[in-house]
A and B are shown apart, each in its own frame.
Chain A
């Protein structure tokens, strides 16, 4: 605040440096939680951790830079992509087994000709279903955060880099 009216946000070297350092590690940890099935966690938890890294970046560097990293078009696409992945695998089970298997019965995929049904299930769960859940949760949480934080900047201020540091009326 600094007592100056109109200045609500300013650079802080320590916070920016720490954030730059932390965000990649948070994202790698989120992928580890999301994809693997050996440890604790799953798609929901991994997605939330990934969204938290985006929120941390946006809080530190301002909403315009945050939106530049996760553009609105990408966000809108990712929103439904995860759900399509999950439901699509389920539908693929029916289609590829010519209607013999149930919805979401992963072992009916032709992949089980190469490996055992149990391994097919494990592969589908860890690499497709959990990633789909994680994508949807991550992008939905980021989308909710951006929508709540957005104040119409970028419309009034044509210079986006400058608009970060000026106050919006």
Chain B
């Protein structure tokens, strides 16, 4: 066997293994709490029994320890901006007013949930579709959610797609429109 064939075989095997791994990792279809649909585990946890934790959360204040650990992971820290905490079923919503020019409303950002095993309070982050679903019509005013996302939230993507089509057309013009030249 030539070395290049062995390399190719190895590459195909690795690719197959990757596909199998990814397909095993996909959450069940329609699971409302799967990362793609609802929220993503940040793997930041704090003991429930810490003194005054529940009281401070009920009062709408996030403990310094949690916010500093969130910041250490590279996510926007609640303590730096305006935020509010709301108690909902099963946990607490953290609404952050992001420093954007024309999106001043606080948006759902973190979710604190009590884990059933181990008496820990775990931090989750809301995924993008939550905001898309809940605030699309209010922010963009287009009744069609797909069009709103296509041209506003994903405006750069659509600009790139249009550029791809434009480039394809120019390539065809360059290759086929010779008119006797060459």
Q: Hey, which bits of chain A sit against chain B, CB under 8 A?
A: 37-40, 42-44, 79-80, 82-83, 86-87, 90, 97, 100-108, 112, 116-119, 121-122, 125-126, 129-130, 132-133, 136-137, 139-141, 143-144, 147-148, 150, 152, 155
Interface size on B, residues (CB 8 A): 33
Q: Tell whether, in the assembled complex, residue B144 and residue A40 are in contact, meaning their CB atoms are under 8 Å apart.
A: yes
Q: Hey, which bits of chain B sit against chain A, CB under 8 A?
A: 101-102, 138-144, 146-148, 150-152, 155-156, 158-159, 161-163, 165-166, 168-170, 172-173, 176-177, 179-180
Per CB-CB distance, the 8 closest pairs between chain A and chain B, nearest first, are A140-B169, A118-B141, A122-B141, A104-B155, A125-B151, A147-B176, A107-B102, A37-B142
Extra pairs beyond A37-B143, A148-B172 (15, CB < 8 Å): A37-B147, A38-B144, A44-B161, A86-B162, A90-B159, A100-B101, A101-B101, A117-B102, A121-B141, A125-B147, A126-B142, A130-B147, A136-B162, A141-B169, A150-B176
How many Å from the CB of B150 to the closest CB on chain A?
A: 6
Binding site of B, secondary structure by majority: helix, strand, loop or mixed?
helix
Known: A104-B156, A125-B152, A147-B173. Is A137-B162 also a contact (CB below 8 A)? yes
Q: Tell whether, in the assembled complex, residue A140 and residue B101 are in contact, meaning their CB atoms are under 8 Å apart.
A: no
How many Å from the CB of B97 to the closest CB on chain A?
A: 16
**A/B pair count, beta carbons within 8 Å:** 108
B140 surroundings in chain A (CB, below 8 A): 118, 121-122, 125
How many Å from the CB of B173 to the closest CB on chain A?
A: 6
A148 surroundings in chain B (CB, below 8 A): 172, 176
Q: Closest B-chain residue to A143, C-beta based? A: B169
Q: Which of B101, B146, B148, B162 contacts A102 (CB 8 A)?
A: B101
B151 surroundings in chain A (CB, below 8 A): 42, 125, 129-130
